[in-house]
């Protein structure tokens, strides 16, 4: 089998042909040298994840909101005008807002990482003639694995032997009813995953029976990997709250600048000194900006996150809590898993 060679019609081959393609015997499995070679070729059997965000980047992201940037500008102007007390107050509010957001998002990231570590699947693999229990990420194409009721499939597998095997494939196909599996080859080359009854796919769950199979695809080459690749290309959307705050920020900045310019121009036309009226206009602009708004919004969202946490729900981003309140319709198919919301931003949670 050549480097990264893939065959899309494993379901049409009989068991001996599949084993021959990988150069493996079911009773012996792969040897250590072959495993090492294939791990270098195919990589780890895991779906790629975005690199963890550095702490400083996560903290810096809290300052990307337009209103927060306006407040930082107001802090600088207050300091230039000698209003040290106002500058310190506004800056303290901005920092408190950033710290609250950072603490919540970092806590959610740690909780998600812990859950992923706990859910990392194991696999029973035949190697060098011995049945071993290994981390699923160590699997390579050609590995012979055993599965039984309660197991989550660690990779895409062509079944070699099955006894009363049923697999729940809703994570892949949306069908909640377990599907019975067999080992006989199928004739139709163009069958979709839902109809490939002699295959078992990564992420699905064995609900009944037991089976032995050979791994034919791992990582991004698996059916789940293809879905993960599509998801990685999806762009995140702003939540309704983020859109409203951005709009409010623009309105506030426009209105404040307009009023300040009007006051300065009117005063200068009446004969007031330009420099003094400029300082007056800047002071008026600083005073008109609601520096407490970001902190109030952040505290309110943080309280919502805490309430969700008491109900065992992890929210990664604070604004996603508010997005849940914008949902007016929830549509679900019979599996209860494929949920479509009228606010796509909720998925950011």
**pLDDT attached to residue 344:** 44
**pLDDT attached to residue 291:** 67
Write out the two tokens for 239: 């939540």
> Are both 275 and 343 inside the same structural domain?
yes
pLDDT tens series, the chain, 349 aa: 543 444 568 989 998 899 998 988 878 889 989 999 999 999 888 877 767 777 788 788 878 777 777 778 777 877 777 777 777 877 887 888 788 778 777 776 776 666 555 445 789 999 988 999 998 889 999 999 999 998 989 999 999 999 999 999 887 887 778 999 999 999 888 888 888 999 999 888 999 999 999 999 998 888 888 877 776 666 666 777 777 877 887 888 888 888 888 988 888 888 888 877 877 777 777 777 776 777 777 777 777 777 777 777 767 677 777 777 677 777 766 555 444 444 444 444 4
> CA 152 to CA 155: how far, in whole Å?
9
> Are both 271 and 308 inside the same structural domain?
yes
> CA 246 to CA 248: how far, in whole Å?
5
> Are both 265 and 222 inside the same structural domain?
no
Domain that holds residue 188: 11-45+139-231
> Are both 226 and 241 inside the same structural domain?
no
- Residue 133 resides in a domain: no
> Are both 242 and 295 inside the same structural domain?
yes
**pLDDT attached to residue 180:** 93
> Are both 25 and 97 inside the same structural domain?
no
**pLDDT attached to residue 112:** 62
> Are both 35 and 144 inside the same structural domain?
yes
Last residue within a domain, chosen from 201, 231, 261: 231
- Residue 195 resides in a domain: yes
> Are both 212 and 301 inside the same structural domain?
no
Q: Is residue 193 within 8 Å of residue 173, measured between CB atoms? A: yes
> Are both 175 and 31 inside the same structural domain?
yes
Last residue within a domain, chosen from 179, 213, 231: 231
Give the CATH number of the domain where residue 239 resides. Answer: 1.20.1110.10
- Residue 126 resides in a domain: no
Last residue within a domain, chosen from 180, 197, 231: 231
**pLDDT attached to residue 340:** 42
**pLDDT attached to residue 345:** 42
- Residue 6 resides in a domain: no
> Are both 189 and 337 inside the same structural domain?
no
**pLDDT attached to residue 342:** 46
Separation in Å, CA 342 to CA 5, 34, 169, 346: 42, 50, 26, 9
**pLDDT attached to residue 2:** 44
Intra-chain end-to-end CA distance of the chain, in Å: 42
- Residue 308 resides in a domain: yes
> Are both 317 and 196 inside the same structural domain?
no
- Please, which contacts does 94-98 make with residues 24 or more away whose CB atoms are closer than 8 Å? 94/63, 94/68, 94/291, 94/294, 96/295, 97/62, 97/68, 97/294, 97/295, 97/298, 98/59, 98/62, 98/63, 98/68
The residue with tokens 């809290």 is: 62
Give the CATH number of the domain where residue 202 resides. Answer: 2.70.150.10
> Are both 152 and 260 inside the same structural domain?
no
Count of structural domains within the chain:
2
- Residue 18 resides in a domain: yes
**pLDDT attached to residue 197:** 92
Angle, helix 293-310 to helix 66-80, in steps of 10 degrees: 140
**pLDDT attached to residue 35:** 92
- Residue 91 resides in a domain: yes
Query: Which residues participate in catalysis according to the annotation?
Result: 333
- Please, which contacts does 68-76 make with residues 24 or more away whose CB atoms are closer than 8 Å? 68/94, 68/97, 68/98, 68/294, 70/249, 70/252, 70/253, 70/289, 71/289, 71/291, 71/294, 74/285, 74/286, 74/289, 74/291
- Residue 106 resides in a domain: yes
**pLDDT attached to residue 165:** 94
């Amino acid at each position: 089998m050549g480097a990264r060679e893939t065959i899309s019609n494993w379901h049409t081959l009989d068991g001996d042909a599949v084993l021959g393609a990988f150069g493996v015997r079911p009773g012996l499995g792969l040897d250590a040298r072959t495993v090492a070679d294939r791990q270098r070729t195919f990589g780890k059997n895991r779906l790629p994840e975005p690199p963890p965000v550095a702490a400083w980047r996560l903290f810096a992201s809290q300052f990307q909101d337009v209103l927060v940037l306006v407040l930082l500008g107001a802090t600088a102007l207050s300091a230039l005008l000698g209003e040290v007390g106002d500058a310190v107050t506004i800056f303290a509010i901005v920092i408190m807002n950033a710290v609250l957001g950072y603490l919540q998002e970092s806590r959610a990231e740690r909780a998600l990482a812990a859950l992923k570590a706990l859910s990392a699947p194991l696999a029973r693999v035949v190697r060098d003639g011995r049945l071993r229990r290994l981390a699923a990420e160590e699997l390579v194409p050609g590995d012979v694995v055993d599965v039984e009721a309660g197991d989550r499939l660690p990779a895409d597998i062509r079944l070699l032997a099955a006894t009363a095997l049923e697999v729940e494939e809703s994570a892949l196909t949306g069908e909640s009813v377990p599907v019975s599996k067999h080992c006989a080859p199928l004739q139709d080359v163009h069958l979709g995953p839902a109809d490939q009854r002699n295959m078992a796919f990564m992420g699905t769950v064995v609900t009944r029976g037991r089976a032995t199979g050979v791994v034919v695809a791992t990582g991004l080459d698996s059916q789940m990997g293809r879905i993960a690749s599509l998801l990685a290309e999806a762009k995140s959307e702003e939540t309704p709250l983020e859109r409203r705050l951005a709009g409010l920020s623009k309105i506030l900045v426009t209105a404040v600048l307009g009023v300040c310019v009007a006051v300065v121009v009117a005063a200068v036309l009446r004969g007031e000194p330009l420099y003094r009226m400029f300082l007056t206009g800047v002071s008026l602009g600083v005073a008109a900006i609601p520096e407490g708004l970001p902190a109030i919004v952040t505290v309110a969202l943080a309280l919502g996150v805490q309430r969700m946490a008491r109900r065992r729900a992890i929210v990664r981003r604070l604004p996603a809590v508010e997005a849940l309140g914008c949902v007016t319709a929830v549509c679900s198919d019979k599996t209860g898993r494929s949920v479509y919301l009228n606010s796509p931003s909720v998925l950011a949670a």
